[in-house]
Amino acid sequence: MTDSKLNAEGWEVAPRAPHKIKPSVLLEVPKGSFLMGTSDDNIKQLQLKESDWAYEWSDNDLFVAEQPQHLITLPAFEIAQYPVTNAEYYTFIWDLGHRIPRNWPGYTYPEGTDDHPVVGVSKLDVEAYIRWFNEKTELNYRLPTEAEWERAARGEDGRIFPWGNTFDPWRCNTVESDKKGTTPVGSYSPGGDSVCGAADMVGNVWEWTQSLFMPYPYRPNTNREEIKPNGRYVVRGGAWYYSRKLARCAVREGVLPNHLSPSMGFRLARSSS
C-alpha cells in the first residue's frame, strides 16, 4: 500500500490523509477562588432530588473522597473547549506510528466518528500525544490539574452540575441518555456547557488529569502532580455508560496510568502567560 505508515506494532496504517495540526480552542479561566468538593448541603440537595441513590451513597460513605468541601485559589489558566477528538489523535498516530487506541476497529477510527472524543488511551498515551503536540505547535500544553478541571466545570459557586444543581439528561451523555456510545464533542452545547464555556465536562468520557488521587483538602504544590509509574491518577466527569450519579463536577476516581477504557479520554490545558 503506497504512502502508508506503520504503527508501533509494525502494522500498516491506512493512508487516510490526516487533519492539519492546529491548537485547540482554549478558554480563559481567570485567577480566583472556588469551592472544591462536595458539601453536606450538596448531599442534602442530592438526597432531595436524587433519593434513589444519594441516601445509599451517604450511608456507605461514598461521598468521602469528595469531602470536605473547601475554598482554594488558583492562578489563571486556559482549558480546551472540547476533549481531543479521534481526528485530532489520528494525526498523532499517522505522524509517529504510536499504538492505536484500544477501541479502533483497524488502523484508524470508526467511520463517521471524526469529531467524537478519542477513548481507549492511557495516561502514558496522552503524555506522548502532548509531547508530540507541543513539538509541532511550539506551545506548552498539558493535562489540567484536578483543581483546574473542577474549577472549569463548576465555576466559583460550588454547583453540582456544570449548568446548576439539578440533573438534566438533555444536557449530557450518560446512560440515562441511552446513546450507547460517545457523541460528537459539543453535542450538548450550549445547554450543557459550564460557566466558562467548556463542553462535555460531565458525561461522554472520563477525562485524565495530571493529579494523583490523594485525600482532600486539595493543596496546590504538594506533590500532587508528580510522575509515579504506580500512582493512581484522578479522572473526572463520568461517561456515556455511567449513570448520572457520576456526572457531577465533584466526582473523582483514581486510575493507574496504563489503564485503557472505552470511556476514557482527555482534554488539554495550559498555564496562562
Over residues 34-63, the pLDDT tens digits come to 999 999 999 999 999 998 899 999 999 999
Would the pLDDT of 17 be above 90? no
At position 264, the amino acid (one-letter code) is M
At 4, the pLDDT band (50, 70, 90 cuts) reads very low
At 16, the pLDDT band (50, 70, 90 cuts) reads low
Domain that holds residue 168: 25-271
Could you give the number of structural domains in the chain? Answer: 1
User: CA-to-CA distance for 104 and 210, rounded, in angstroms?
Assistant: 25
pTM exceeding the 0.85 threshold for the entire prediction: yes
5 inside domain: no
Q: Mean pLDDT, to the nearest integer, of 212-217?
A: 95
Average pLDDT value over all residues in the chain: 90
DSSP string, 64-114: GGG-S-EEEEE--EEEESSPPBHHHHHHHHHHH-PPPPTT-SSSSPPTT-T
The percentage of residues in the chain with a pLDDT greater than 70, rounded to a whole number, is 92
256 inside domain: yes
At position 23, the amino acid (one-letter code) is P
Could you count the other beta carbons within 10 Å of the beta carbon of residue 2? 4
7 inside domain: no
Over residues 127-181, the pLDDT tens digits come to 999 999 999 999 999 999 999 999 999 999 889 999 999 999 999 999 999 999 9
Which residues, in sequence order, are bridge partners of residue 77?
A: 29, 271
16 inside domain: no
- The beta-strand segments (E) located in the chain are 5-6, 12-13, 26-29, 32-36, 70-74, 77-80, 206-212, 233-236, 252-255, 264-265, 269-271
Of residues 14 and 115, the one with the higher pLDDT is 115
pLDDT value for 51: 86
User: CA-to-CA distance for 247 and 197, rounded, in angstroms?
Assistant: 17
Query: Helices 86-96 and 123-137 meet at what angle, rounded to 10?
Result: 80
What are the distances in angstroms from CA 253 to CA 27, 138, 157, 205? Answer: 25, 32, 22, 13
15 inside domain: no
pLDDT value for 2: 35
12 inside domain: no
Of residues 158 and 237, the one with the higher pLDDT is 237
Place of cell 450538548: 188
pLDDT value for 273: 73
2 inside domain: no
265 inside domain: yes
Q: For the domain that residue 249 is a member of, what is the CATH number? A: 3.90.1580.10
Rg of the chain in Å (alpha carbons): 18
At 9, the pLDDT band (50, 70, 90 cuts) reads low
pLDDT value for 201: 97
What are the distances in angstroms from CA 96 to CA 80, 100, 129? Answer: 23, 11, 10
